[in-house]
Homo-oligomer: A and B are copies of this chain.
Amino acid sequence: LNRIKASGLKLRFCTNETQATREKFVKKLQGMGFDISMAEVTAPAPAACRILKERSLRPHLLVHNDLVPEFAEIDKANPNCVVIGDAAENFTYANLNEAFRVLIGMEKPVLISLGRGRYYKETDGLKLDVGAYMKALEYACDVQAEVVGKPAKMFFESALAEMGVPPQQAIMIGDDIVNDVGGAQRCGMRALQVRTGKYRPCDENHPHVKPDAYVNNLAEAVDIILQQL
């Protein structure tokens, strides 16, 4: 990261993290030694807040407790949409029924989902991600959720807009073949897949997505990018 920043290239961190505010997320990365500030992070909750404001939407929130502060400035009285994130322990039977009732009670239900992940791994095992609960509400209410976060095109576009960089001049580096690589490419960017983190060898046979290149780690990605300057 330091080498990228020193080169003068513009940099943006795109995360689907919805279990914590950007502030917590940045502090965690800073604690690991990364030079990163909140202004450099594109995350689903702030992107959703922009949409809510633009469209005068008042959300009923089904999100993680730690994410609630991101919506502090949003009017939530008399809701006319539902925003769902990875609510984890908040995905109770009562809370799901409550979100469903709000949604089905609308003349034209609006469901905004912070990501469409299927599942993820934690130290105590695999967990269903927001995408699964999104599908449950979609089916029950016969609606299609609007997804905010990777791989949504709009999400990458807002990151590009914030940097003032056209997609052709941007490169995505990520470990997720669909959400990072596929999403960025559909937006007109090039994308490198790192062979770390979520990467699995079978990703290299993915039926639809092919990265512009593979790299063994982030340092190698930086090498390649700086060589092209």
Chain A: residues with CB nearer than 8 A to chain B?
88-89, 91-93, 96-97, 100-101, 104, 118-119, 125-129, 131-133, 135-142
A24 nearest CB across to chain B (Å): 21
A88 to B94 alpha-carbon distance, docked (Å): 10
- Nearest opposing residue in chain B for A133, CB measure: B136
Q: Report chain B residues within 8 Å CB of A131.
A: 139-140
- Nearest opposing residue in chain B for A119, CB measure: B140
Q: Within the complex, which residue of B127, B135, B141 is in contact with A139, where a contact is CB–CB below 8 Å? A: B135
A97 touches B126 (CB 8 A): yes
Q: Report chain B residues within 8 Å CB of A92.
A: 92-93
A89 touches B93 (CB 8 A): yes
B132 touches A104 (CB 8 A): no
A31 nearest CB across to chain B (Å): 28
Q: Report chain B residues within 8 Å CB of A89.
A: 93
A16 nearest CB across to chain B (Å): 16
B128 touches A136 (CB 8 A): yes
B139 touches A118 (CB 8 A): yes
User: Given the known A-B contacts A91-B96, A119-B104, are A132 and B126 also in contact in the complex, defined by CB atoms under 8 Å?
Assistant: no
A65 nearest CB across to chain B (Å): 13
B136 touches A132 (CB 8 A): yes
Q: Report chain B residues within 8 Å CB of A127.
A: 97
Q: Report chain B residues within 8 Å CB of A138.
A: 135
A135 to B101 alpha-carbon distance, docked (Å): 18
- Nearest opposing residue in chain B for A131, CB measure: B139
A126 touches B139 (CB 8 A): no
User: Given the known A-B contacts A89-B93, A91-B93, A100-B119, are A132 and B128 also in contact in the complex, defined by CB atoms under 8 Å?
Assistant: no
